[in-house]
Amino acid sequence: MFWPVIKENECTNCRACQRICPKMVFDLEDRKVTVAMPTYCTGCESCSEVCPLKAIDVREI
């Protein structure tokens, strides 16, 4: 199982992760990108690769 983690102090809420995620793991809440459906993550790491600031870690749990 994989779990994406957003480094909130580094994230600029550009939504690149939300747009690229094939499983729609991310959502926007109060203008902040959140991990809304972490259990849907398949570990493809497209979110961390597209993030311009590398503010997302995908961890295997």
pLDDT at 56: 98
Binning the chain into helix, strand and coil, the percentages to the nearest 5 are 20, 30, 50
Residues of the chain with pLDDT under 70: none
Give the separation between CA 50 and CA 32, rounded to whole angstroms.
17
Give the separation between CA 8 and CA 16, rounded to whole angstroms.
15
pLDDT at 11: 97
pLDDT at 33: 97
pLDDT at 34: 97
